[in-house]
Amino acid sequence: MYELQMVETRLESGTSVLHSIEQRLTSTGGITQAQAELDSLRAKQESVRTRLRKLEADAEDATAKVSKLTATLYGGGIHDSREMASLEIEISHAKNRQSAIEDEEITLMEQLETLESGEAERARMLAELQAKRGDLIPELLAQRTQLSEMVDALTKERETAAGRLGPARLAMYTRLKARYGHAVSLVEGGMCHWCRVQIPSSDVQHARGDTLTNCPNCGRILFTE
Ligand SMILES: [Zn+2]
């Protein structure tokens, strides 16, 4: 029984490590997130560039308008002072528009610079993550193969140990294991290893023989070496 318990303990820890390796193999380790961030930075850059192209066209229009109005004003064709004053106002509006466009262009260029350096940084991070994962995968696959073999071997060992017990003892083992997690407890220095209670020497004698003896305190089956 003690042998079965030891095999099962090793089998359980092997299975759980194998499971965590499977999880690491399927998880992308931040790559998906880094890629999404990179995509979003690129999309933002694209919209800033689109806006800048629109502003360039607007700036050309504004410049043309200022030139045209200035030419009219100083062309010598206008003599009415009210008409001149109204033209001057129009020119001043067009110039204001020009400088507003320039201001927005400067702001957007700065944004674009920030976005571009962010993109370079993220792209570098992503490449690093991908390289790391590229190195990790073969390692994990090798570990998985090794562990699968170990788990298979332990499963066979477990079957053999369970078969040796016979149905009655196996049923008892299974029941106690389900209740306590561990069915068997080693007697060490006359004490139950699990609950640290002194075992009467008559019980230790029984356990040493082939009689199934339970710890009077925790109920686990006592095993003596
Ligand atoms: Zn006990």
Q: Express each pLDDT in 50-94 by its tens digit.
A: 999 999 999 999 999 999 999 999 988 888 999 999 999 999 999
- Is 119 a residue whose pLDDT tops 90? yes
How many angstroms is it from 162 CA to the middle of ligand 1?
Answer: 23
pLDDT at 210: 78
- Is 112 a residue whose pLDDT tops 80? yes
The enclosing H or E element of 97 equals helix 81-165
Write down the mean pLDDT value for the chain.
94
164 vs 92: CA distance, rounded Å: 102
How many angstroms is it from 171 CA to the middle of ligand 1?
Answer: 20
pTM of the model: 0.65
Q: List the Cα angle 67/68/71 in 5-degree steps.
A: 85
pLDDT at 30: 86
Radius of gyration of the chain (CA): 41
pLDDT at 186: 94
- Residue (of 188, 170, 200) closest to 225 by Cα position: 188
pLDDT at 27: 86
- Is 209 a residue whose pLDDT tops 90? no
pLDDT at 215: 94
pLDDT at 9: 95
Nearby residues for ligand 1 (ion, Cβ within 5 Å) = 192, 194-195, 215, 217-218
pLDDT at 29: 74
- Is 117 a residue whose pLDDT tops 90? yes
Q: Are 210 and 1 in contact (CB under 8 A)?
A: no
Q: What is the mean pLDDT of the segment spanning 118-146?
A: 94
How many angstroms is it from 196 CA to the middle of ligand 1?
Answer: 6
